[in-house]
Structure 1
Amino acid sequence: MDSKKSLSPAQKTIVGVQFLFVAFGATVLVPLLVGLDPSTALFTAGLGTLIFHLVTKGKVPIFLGSSFAFVAPIIKATELYGLPGTMSGLVAVGAVYGLMSALVKWRGIGFIKTLFPPVVIGPVIILIGLSLAGSGVNMAKENWPLALIALLTAILASLLGKGMIKLIPIFCGIIVGYIAGAVFGVIDFEPIVAAPWFAFPQFVKPELSWGAVIFMIPVTIAPIIEHIGDVYAINEVTGKDFVKDPGLHRTMLGDGLACVAAGLIGGHPVTTYSEVTGAISLTKITDPTVIRIAAVTGIV
């Protein structure tokens, strides 16, 4: 499907918001696990995605969200060096991405294939996915009937839906699941009523801590491998070669600058989100504009 020609601005907006919903759960859950502000995480995810698209010339339909790889390191680093010190370590993470970007630009993609061959990239991505599978299962265990209703709705909308319905199967699953939850009386509306309409991010100013920098740098290896795998995955989904155009060095630099931006304002480091790539594969909407709409929605 040539999504650039077939979707109206209104349709792109709806699909973009749907993609944000796909990334929303993990993007908010990660900062809650480490004691960071979820509003700031949404802000940095949106900002980081826009930075990524700027660096990659707006060609790569990838969304950046909170990285699970840093959960345990951030918790430990915060205990040892405090939150401001930990933020300086997260800025250093972005610098490592920048260094890798420069090496790829200098040595070429063959350098990455030698350093991280498929036999390394594949298992690492599988392990990351398997480590996160428990989160989804644990959430579903809270109410299996509702989980199955939402899942089956999304599957049926994708397989049997026509027109706009086929483009928003995940939205359909969320809406039908929510309605079913309301009918079954398992939704507590009091927190929704009590919640403020607007919440500003809680920014944190980083303070240089060499201990935190040294502590965080080795952790960067896992998300870099994940990044490479996700770029190859989006290649398969779109039928394009983003490793060559705009280049893996640009995607790495964009990811790194997004991490730097997150660290400078107290957000969680970001990474390429495979779940959004999966949603792109499901909907066949590959227009990067839709991802940027999701990013702006996350900021707002």
Structure 2
Amino acid sequence: MAKEKKELIVGVNGDLSDNFTTPQKAVLGLQNTLAMCGVILVPILCGLDVSVTLFCAGIGTIIYQFIDKKMVPAFLGGSFAIIAGVSAVVGEMGIPYAQGGILGMAVFYLLFALLLKILGKDRVARVFPPIIVGPIIMVLGLSLASVGVQEAEANWPIAIITFLIAVGVNNFSKGLTRVMTIIIALVGGYLISIPFGLVDFTALKEAAWVGVPSFTLPKFSWRAIALIAPCAIVPCLEHIGDVMAVGTVVGKDFTHEPGLDRSVFACGVSTIISGCLGGPSLTIHSENTGVLA
């Protein structure tokens, strides 16, 4: 007897795994992986090492899932809130001192987690309501719009066509096709780029099959810490919004279990590991939350 399909309603049915076959799940997993690739933008803008950032994002996510008891379906990536502070320190003092500042952010995460634990769920909801947390996430996203425009300037026709593919699929398709908007737009834009000679495999051919990221050890300067550590305020508030958003998508209250304090604590521990290796401060990657929806 065939299983009854669950209605695809965001925030109502959290477990929709029965709606998809194994190949479909693999494709959706690939789409999530492609969305994760956006994490390279933070080190590029900050002057950090891209390979180290990717490694730290992976290790950080594993640590986060372990501490959070694998309850919150989230991926950790570099926080865009650190770009100004970290890029200034990297340019003036170098990456090791920026790592010291990032470790200062991690300490702030841990203290903020303790504050959330003391306040409790109900007080947190009153102190940080969605009407406050939501605009903070919006401002972070909108602040990066100029970066998208600069990247699009390389070839406006391809950029516009790719954008229109994404908008068209998202608005005029249904079911699994609509869920796969990102991957369809990426593939479409890539295929269109080939005839224009925009696809170059030279870097891929010259790349080593196996490589070790260029890890560095942190150094400490009060000036670097003062420039970077306060940047933790925005990611902490953003983290609350992201946890609430993920919970809304899957129809579960993650502010209760595992709890915001545990989630922020997990993010702080992950950031400590990242800062020690040369990566950025870590937070829930909002792009993957969007793909999840």
**TM-score, length basis structure 1:** 0.83
Partner of 2:116 in structure 1?
A: 104
* CA distance in 2 between partners of 1:272 and 1:206 (Å): 23
Return the letter of the residue paired with 1:28: I
Partner of 1:184 in structure 2?
A: 196
Partner of 2:165 in structure 1?
A: 153
From the two aligned structures, give the one with the greater helix fraction: 1
1:20-169 equivalences under 5 Å are 20-25=33-38, 27-79=39-91, 81-158=93-170, 165-169=177-181
Partner of 1:226 in structure 2?
A: 238
* CA distance in 2 between partners of 1:137 and 1:109 (Å): 40
Q: Deviations over 1:255-283 (max 9, x none)?
A: 111111110111111221221111111xx
Whether contact under 8 Å (1:39, 1:199) holds in the other structure is: no
> Is the counterpart of residue 207 in structure 1 residue 222 in structure 2?
no
Partner of 1:247 in structure 2?
A: 259
* CA distance in 2 between partners of 1:8 and 1:206 (Å): 46
Q: 101-110 vs 127-136, which deviates more?
A: 101-110
SS at 1:54 equivalent: helix
With over 3 angstroms needed to count, the CA separation of the structure-2 counterparts of 1:195 and 1:161, relative to structure 1, is farther
* CA distance in 2 between partners of 1:17 and 1:119 (Å): 33
* CA distance in 2 between partners of 1:265 and 1:118 (Å): 34
* CA distance in 2 between partners of 1:127 and 1:270 (Å): 18
* CA distance in 1 between partners of 2:23 and 2:261 (Å): 33
Partner of 1:297 in structure 2?
A: none
Q: Deviations over 1:46-98 (max 9, x none)?
A: 11111111111111111111111111111222355542232122122112111
SS at 1:65 equivalent: strand
Whether contact under 8 Å (1:92, 1:217) holds in the other structure is: yes
Partner of 1:269 in structure 2?
A: 281
SS at 1:57 equivalent: coil
Q: 96-105 vs 193-202, which deviates more?
A: 193-202
Q: Deviations over 1:15-72 (max 9, x none)?
A: 22321211313x1121122221101111111111111111111111111111111111
Partner of 1:18 in structure 2?
A: 31
* CA distance in 2 between partners of 1:5 and 1:231 (Å): 24
Paired residue total: 280
SS at 1:42 equivalent: helix
With over 3 angstroms needed to count, the CA separation of the structure-2 counterparts of 1:105 and 1:151, relative to structure 1, is same
Shift of 1:175: 1.4
* CA distance in 2 between partners of 1:43 and 1:36 (Å): 12
* CA distance in 2 between partners of 1:226 and 1:213 (Å): 21
Identity %: 38
* CA distance in 2 between partners of 1:192 and 1:93 (Å): 35
Whether contact under 8 Å (1:62, 1:276) holds in the other structure is: yes
Partner of 1:195 in structure 2?
A: 207
With over 3 angstroms needed to count, the CA separation of the structure-2 counterparts of 1:238 and 1:116, relative to structure 1, is same
* CA distance in 2 between partners of 1:79 and 1:138 (Å): 22
Can you give the 5+ residue segments of structure 1 that lack an aligned partner in the other structure? 282-300
**TM-score, length basis structure 2:** 0.85
Whether contact under 8 Å (2:47, 2:90) holds in the other structure is: no
* CA distance in 1 between partners of 2:86 and 2:143 (Å): 17
